[in-house]
Amino acid sequence: MKKIYLFLTIAAVLSLSSCNLDINDNPNYPSSSDVTPDLVFPAAENAVAAAVGDAMFNYGGFFAQYFEQRPEANQYNNEAELNIDESTNLFDRCYRTLYAGALADIKNVMDRTANKSDLFACTVLRAYAFQVLVDNLDQVPYSEALQGSENSNPVWDKGEDVYKGVLAEMDAAEAALEGELMSLTDPMLNKSVNQWRGFANALRLRMYLRLIDGGINAGEYQTKALALVNAGDFFTGDVAWDVYSNSEGQYNPWYDVARALGTKNHVASYPIVSYYLDTNDPRIGYAIMKNDNGNYVGQIPGAKTVYKSWGVEWKNKDVSAIDYTPAVFAPIYLFTQSELQFLIAETQMRWGNKSAAKAAYEAGVQADFASRGIAMGNFLNGARVNWDGQVSDAARLNLIYMQKWAALFYRDHMEAWSEVRRTDVPATSPEDGGTIFSDPSVYTPGQMIVPALNYIQAGGLCKRVPYPSTARQLNKNTPEAKLLSDRVFWDAK
C-alpha cells in the first residue's frame, strides 16, 4: 500500500510540472498549498532514479561490456557497435529528466523551505545529479543553469568546476545543519539526516578519487579521501530508490521498457561471462542464462553482424541471454554498499592501511553477494580473488577494481562504466574480437574487447556520450560536438 500511495503522489506532482524541454524553464507549480515541498521532493528523487536506472542503466550496460545485442533482434545495435552521435539522441531523455525534472524540483523545494536538514538533503541529491551529468558529458550548464527566462542560454561549465562547485555546496549545507528533523517526504533515506550525511561522504569519496586521477589538486584530495575513510561516517545498507512492485504500472522502469518492446534484446557480453567463469563466481547465474546447450557463453562485443565473416552462424540459441526476472521490481541503486567498500579499499590500498584495505575489499564482495541473496561459500578463497594470494600491491589494487566491476553488474551500470574509464580496469585486450573468438587462449578473462564492428572515428571504447540534440537546439552556448572517444576531465589515462 505504501508503494501504491507513493506512485500516486509522484504522479500527481509530475502531472503539475511543465513539459517544456528548455532546462531553464522551471515547472509551473500551482499556488495550491496541496503541492508542498514535502510532496515535490520524492518527485525529484524519482526523476534522478529514472534517469540512472533506465537509459543510463541500459547504455552503461553496453559500455561496461555487461550487455550485447541479441543476435536475432535489433533494438540496441547502435549501443553495441558504438554507432552514436548527437542525432542518435542517446542522452536527451536523461538530460531533460535531470534538468527539467530533478534539478528544477530540487530548486523549487530549496526556494520554499528554511529547514536546514531539508536543504542539506536537497543539496546532496543535487550534487549527485550534477556528478552524473559531468560523468556523461564533461561540460554541463551549472553556474547559470535553472534561471528560467532570465537566462535562456546558460554557459557550459568545465566538469572539474562543477565537481568543485557541488562539493563546496555540500560542505556549506552540512556546516549549516542545526539538528532539525527533516520535514520532506523521503522514501529513499527515510528522513535520516545521518544517512544523508553518509551519502554525502560517499559522494565526496567518489568525486575525490576522480579528481585525483584527473590530476586535479591530487595531494589535497588524497588527504581528504583518506580522512573520510578513516572517519568512517558513511551510510548503512544501500542508497536506492526501492518503490517498485510486481504490478502493472509499478515495474522497475528498465524492466518495463524491455517488457514493452516484447522482444528480448539483451545477451551477456563475453568479458563478464569469461570473468565469472574464470573465478568460479556463483553470481553468474543471477541474471545470465545458459544457452540451449546448457553453457554460459558470452557474445563478443560488437560482433553480432560479423560472426558470419568468422565462419559462424550465430543465433539466439548459441549465446547466454540476460534474465530479466531479477529486474522486475528491483530497486534503482544510486550507491551500493559494495561500491562504497571497494572505494574504501582502494583508498586504503593506495595511501593508507593495507590490512584495512583487505577488510574493505572482502566486505565489498560480501555486501554484493548478500544484496543478491547468494551464498558466498568459499568464493574468497579462490586463487583469482583471494587477497593474500596476490603477488603485489598492484595486483591487489587491480583485484579491487575487478571485483567492483563484477559487483556492479545488474546494480549500477552508470558507475561501472565510469569506473572502467577512471581506472582502466578491466584492461582492454590487445587482441581483436575475431582473434579471441578463434583462439580464446590469447585472451585474459575479463578484459574489455574493442567492438568488432566499431563506429567510433578514433577507435577504442566509449569514453563519453554526445551532447543532447535538445541542448544544441535550445542553447546557443552548447559546446562543439565531441566524439565518443573524447574523454571527460577525470579520465586522464
> Does 379 map to a domain?
yes
Look up the pTM and report it: 0.94
Residue with more model confidence, 262 or 135 = 135
- pLDDT tens, position by position, 453-469: 999 988 899 999 999 99
> Does 357 map to a domain?
yes
- pLDDT tens, position by position, 378-436: 999 999 999 999 999 999 999 999 999 999 999 999 999 999 999 999 999 999 999 99
DSSP H or E run through 157: strand 156-157
Q: What is the DSSP string of 76-95?
A: THHHHHT---GGG-TTHHHH
**228 contacts 208 by C-beta, under 8 angstroms:** yes
> Does 447 map to a domain?
no
- pLDDT tens, position by position, 272-310: 999 999 999 999 999 999 999 999 999 999 999 999 999
> Quick one: average pLDDT of 127-138?
98
**332 contacts 252 by C-beta, under 8 angstroms:** yes
Domain containing 101 equals 2-248+328-430+458-474
Closest CA to 296 of 263, 319, 314: 319
Closest CA to 296 of 282, 313, 280, 284: 284
**406 contacts 338 by C-beta, under 8 angstroms:** no
> Does 284 map to a domain?
no
- pLDDT tens, position by position, 69-106: 999 999 999 999 999 999 999 999 999 999 999 999 99
**116 contacts 176 by C-beta, under 8 angstroms:** yes
Residue located via cell numbers 545521518: 194
> What Rg, from alpha-carbon coordinates, does the chain have?
22
Q: In whole angstroms, give the CA distance from residue 463 to residue 443.
A: 23
> Quick one: average pLDDT of 244-261?
95
Q: In whole angstroms, give the CA distance from residue 268 to residue 250.
A: 26
Q: Which of the four pLDDT bands, split at 50, 70 and 90, describes residue 26?
A: very low
All residues at 6 or more sequence positions from 101 whose CB lies less than 8 Å from its CB, including other chains? 14, 17, 43, 44, 47, 50
Q: Give the cell for residue 473.
A: 537546439
> Does 286 map to a domain?
no
Q: How many CB atoms lie within 10 A of CB 202?
A: 25
Determine how β-strand 67-69 pairs with β-strand 332-335.
Answer: unpaired
> Quick one: average pLDDT of 344-359?
98
**Dihedral over Cα of 86, 87, 91, 94: its sign:** positive
- What pLDDT shows up at residue 492? 86
In the chain, the number of structural domains is 1
State yes or no: cis peptide before 451, omega within 30 of 0: no
- What pLDDT shows up at residue 3? 53
Closest CA to 117 of 171, 181, 168, 175: 181
> Does 307 map to a domain?
no
Residue 145's SS3 state is: coil
Q: Give the cell for residue 382.
A: 579462490
- What pLDDT shows up at residue 404? 98
> Does 302 map to a domain?
no
**86 contacts 466 by C-beta, under 8 angstroms:** yes
Is the pLDDT confidence value at 6 over 60?
no
Residue 122's SS3 state is: helix
Burial class of residue 325 (count of CB atoms within 10 Å of its CB; 0-12, 13-18, 19+)? exposed
Q: In whole angstroms, give the CA distance from residue 281 to residue 286.
A: 10
Q: Which of the four pLDDT bands, split at 50, 70 and 90, describes residue 34?
A: low
> Does 260 map to a domain?
no
Burial 446-459 (b: 16+ CB within 10 A, else e): bbbbbbbbbebeee
Residue 484's SS3 state is: coil
Inter-axis angle of helices 413-423 and 193-213, nearest 10: 30
Average pLDDT, the chain: 93
DSSP H or E run through 18: none
> Quick one: average pLDDT of 224-251?
97
Q: In whole angstroms, give the CA distance from residue 407 to residue 58.
A: 16
Q: In whole angstroms, give the CA distance from residue 283 to residue 326.
A: 12
All residues at 6 or more sequence positions from 322 whose CB lies less than 8 Å from its CB, including other chains? 67, 264, 266, 267, 268, 287, 288, 289
Long-range Cβ contacts of 294-297 (<8 Å, 24+ apart): 295/320, 296/268, 296/320, 297/273
CATH code, domain carrying 332: 1.25.40.390
Is the pLDDT confidence value at 1 over 70?
no
**207 contacts 164 by C-beta, under 8 angstroms:** no
